[in-house]
Structure 1
Amino acid sequence: MTVQLILKDGVATVTINRPDRMNAVDQETAEQLESIWQKIEADTSVRCVVLTGAGERAFSAGADLKSESDASGLEYWASVNPNGFGGIASRQTLNVPIIGKINGFALGGGMEMVLGCDIVIATDDARFGLPEAKVGRLPMAGGMTMLQRMIPEKIAAGLMMTGRMMSASEAKHYGLVNAVVPRADLDAEVATWVKDIVSCAPLSLASIKRTIRDTAHLSIEAASSINLPSTLRALLSEDSEEGVTAFREKRAPVWRGK
């Protein structure tokens, strides 16, 4: 298996395990990732996802251009996953928080997967980039449509039109990264974010994620007028009552996800 899935205490850790290829994604790896996302979506016990790459060199270098299964031209365009690179860059059906644990280079499709994460924690030596134009390709599995929505247009254009890399500190400055830490502190930093996430009501988190995703393109007035099913479900849930009761009783809430 080129992707590992570990489920423990409501946390799904997904690790791309091709360190000898900088965790580049070939067809087999892409299929495994898609299968894993579907499995996580069907598992109501999952409260948080951590996505990372094996080894210390790279989170993911994107598409494996050395793979014999790598497509090109119109075949490449036709083979793009509608959920974005790695099945996660622009996925609309996974409603649990995703933490990107970036332990090195995140390039091409690797960066597109970063764009699909809700929270991103990176080592201080991590590097981000969309170098597709350098090899006659396009960052079309999420990059071209998402990056300029997350950072200033000129910065996004500069990255994509030159293939240059952005440092972790620059990425944090522009809001692509939540925290930058020394490599030795990466596990501990991610663990604190996971702990905070799982302490929150799962239906509230699902509604927040859904609202961010579905209303980012709308004005505040238009977004405020939308009653998403996930919002109503969270407000009318047993957990909504439990949260207030636990606060009044000065105890930790017991979330049931219903």
Structure 2
Amino acid sequence: MSAVVEERVDQVTLTIEDHVATVVIDRQHVLNAVDATTHARLNEIWEQLENDPSVRAVVVTGAGPRAFCVGADMSADAVDKTGLEYWAGLDPNGFGGLSLRTTLDIPVIARVNGYALGGGMEIVLGADIVVAASRAKFGLTEPRVGRLALDGGIHQLVRRVPYTQAMGMLLTGRKASASEMHAMGLVNEVVPDEEVDAAVQRWVDQILACAPTSVRAVKQMVTQTSHLTAKEARGLRLPALMAALDSEDSAEGVRAFQEKRPPVWPGR
């Protein structure tokens, strides 16, 4: 068992244990809304994880029973910004440094324990796997306060779910239940509130059962080739792909199969 590494800075907790990083937004007094300091800290965390080859899966969630994240903290200083000023200052990596990030080659599981609204919904759209509590609510509610979901919400939602379903949410700013988002295909699994952690752990275990180099290659191939045809994408010699093809993991997988035992992944 690997050592537990825990860091808590600016109301964001990062814990790394047994190859799994858990990122918790802990600003419960504002339903885990993200301010500028928290956003900067989240960016630091993603960059740290990008450079940590020991991490094989990431779980992102919100603290407490009520909210995953309700987006930007609508405090007085945030409200003072005009829409144009907000647009001009957008992070290339999207909301929370994650919703549009294409350099994190580690699977990200969104553990949605409550409200995922605005930027919180955009963080969900930046994840690879979504596990939701039955009480969770999703929505890109920005139009209801005269704003727009510019951190990937508009452009990603319409690519991830059927057009009319996406527009039904985007044009009304309405909230949708976890079961509705599951039916649309955005959520992988909906479970009773008390079973969320067990469900997340099942997904984590399945990821960890795979060769880390293969998983990184899959994630990189998907994020780096979405603009290409399948044939064009197959021809790219991406770094993670080439590393996986010539990895110790690849050799170990074959040996384990031949010896009829579970593989022990070197992770390289």
* Class of the TM-score when normalised by the shorter of the 2 chains: over 0.9
Contact persistence 1:26–1:67 (CA under 8 A) = no
Q: Which residue of 1 aligns with 2:6?
A: none
Cα distance in structure 2, aligned partners of 1:187 and 1:178: 14
User: Is 2:40 the partner of 1:31?
Assistant: yes
AA of the residue aligned to 1:64: D
- The number of residue pairs the alignment matches comes to 258
Gaps of 5+ in 2: 1-9
Per mean C-alpha deviation after superposition, the further-off stretch among 182-191 and 62-71 is 62-71
Cα distance in structure 1, aligned partners of 2:250 and 2:159: 32
User: Is 2:195 the partner of 1:185?
Assistant: yes
Q: Which residue of 2 aligns with 1:138?
A: 148
User: Is 2:16 the partner of 1:7?
Assistant: yes
Secondary structure of 1:162's match? coil
Residue of structure 1 aligned with 2:222, choices 197, 204, 212: 212
Q: Which residue of 1 aligns with 2:71?
A: 62
Q: Which residue of 2 aligns with 1:42?
A: 51
Deviations 1:196-252 (Å, cap 9, x if unpaired)?
111211110011111222233333333333332322221111110110101111222
Gaps of 5+ in 1: none
Cα distance in structure 1, aligned partners of 2:66 and 2:134: 12
Contact persistence 1:105–1:126 (CA under 8 A) = yes
Cα distance in structure 2, aligned partners of 1:43 and 1:220: 30
Cα distance in structure 1, aligned partners of 2:232 and 2:177: 36
AA of the residue aligned to 1:151: V
Residue of structure 1 aligned with 2:124, choices 95, 98, 114: 114
After the TM superposition, which residues 71-90 of structure 1 pair with which residues of structure 2 at under 5 Å, given as runs? 71-90=81-100
Q: Which residue of 2 aligns with 1:170?
A: 180
Secondary structure of 2:255's match? helix
Pairwise CA RMSD: 1.3
Cα distance in structure 1, aligned partners of 2:12 and 2:88: 24
Distance 1:249 1:119, change over 3 A: same
Q: Which residue of 2 aligns with 1:53?
A: 62
Contact persistence 1:122–1:181 (CA under 8 A) = yes
Give the % identical residues: 51
Secondary structure of 1:120's match? strand
Cα distance in structure 1, aligned partners of 2:182 and 2:254: 34
